[in-house]
Amino acid sequence: MFERGLQQIFERLVASIERDSLVQKTTNSLRELLGVDRVVLYYFYREWAGRVTFEALSDSQFSIFGSAGPDECFNSEYAALYEAGRFRAIPDIEAEPINDCHRDFLRGLGVRANLAVPVLNQKRLWGLLIAHHCQDTHFWSQSDIEAMQKAAETLAMAPAIRHS
């Protein structure tokens, strides 16, 4: 009985390490491919409450690791849009017609351009894969969007994420 319990702990640990490695490699690759300041994974630990659990940075000054989102801005209406496959590409938060709460939140993180795609676990919103450019505006090409979507799909298919 003790050995079986120990084996289960070991298996969960291995799965966690594999998941963490995959997410970090994915965010690092995307940051370089997109040429942006920051790519993060925002994980929902309970319904529409989450935090940044991984990040890839062009410079440590752009770190927002552990940041939580604006719970009052992100609600079930927005979640439903992302669960339906919505992505959001904002080349300039100052020119985009977005909710003031969202704009203020992004400003507080030092964001100037934002690209967010859902990570769907069995059609449930598990997290958001988000690219930020902080130093200037950034035009998001169709290939940028497709790269982020493909990465989010790859993450969602990983056994450690699929079974979480």
Contacting residues for 33 by C-beta, under 8 A, at least 6 apart: 147
Q: Which domain holds residue 24?
A: 2-162
Mean pLDDT for the chain overall? 89
Q: What is the mean pLDDT of residues 127-145?
A: 97
Q: When comparing pLDDT for 75 and 36, which is higher?
A: 36
Predicted pLDDT at 107: 95
Q: Indicate which CATH number applies to the domain containing 89.
A: 3.30.450.40
Q: Which one of 67-71, 96-100, 134-138 scores highest in mean pLDDT?
A: 134-138
pLDDT tens for 101-124 read: 889 999 999 999 999 999 998 888
Give the pLDDT of residue 18: 72
Q: Is the pLDDT of residue 10 over 90?
A: no
Place of tokens 């940051």: 31
Is the pLDDT confidence value at 14 over 70? no
161: confidence class by pLDDT, cuts 50, 70, 90: confident
pLDDT > 80? residue 41:
yes
Percentage of the chain exceeding pLDDT 90 = 63
Number of structural domains (the chain) is: 1
**Residue 27 Cα distances to 12, 39, 131, angstroms:** 22, 6, 9
- Which residue did the predictor score with more confidence, 77 or 17? 77
Position 3 pLDDT exceeds 80: no
Instruction: Answer whether residue 137 shows pLDDT above 70.
Output: yes
The confidence score (pLDDT) of residue 77 equals: 83
